[in-house]
Structure 1
Amino acid sequence: MKTILTLIFVLFIGMAGQAQNSAAEVKVETATMSIVAATAKQEVALKNENPVARLYMFKNSKITKALSFTTKLNKAKLA
């Protein structure tokens, strides 16, 4: 009984959705614009500076090294 009512409900909603009047298609006016070819050259000044940059294999390597410390109490004891 429940499945029949669910099927009728779904069909009713589907038919109601198709019965709606859709709005008329609206035409859009296109605007034409001309293309202007203008080129401007900019001079770039070269800098001969060599700043020191450090490259690490892993991100935050100093932090991970500091957080991975071990103490004597962390080691396993043999009985």
Structure 2
Amino acid sequence: MKAIFTIITVVFFGTVAMAQENSKEVKVDTIAAGVTLNIDVQKTIKKEGEVARLYKFKNSRVKKELSFATKNNKAKLA
């Protein structure tokens, strides 16, 4: 009985909601405005004599300093 009453109320409220008159959409007049872009691109190229160095050898000072290890980095046996 409760299920039948629930179905009837859902159908009733659904039909009442669909029977409502929807207001029509109001169209808005659009205005076209021209857009001008004034973009000035200034490229300045700086050529300086900086050189990046690549070290081929394992014993170079830079690689030694960057790959340091402390005593606490060693693995401990449990």
- Could you tell me the TM-score, scaled by structure 1's length? 0.49
Greater relative contact order (CA < 8 Å, ≥ 6 in sequence): 2
- Could you tell me the TM-score, scaled by structure 2's length? 0.50
Choose 1 or 2 for highest CA Rg: 2
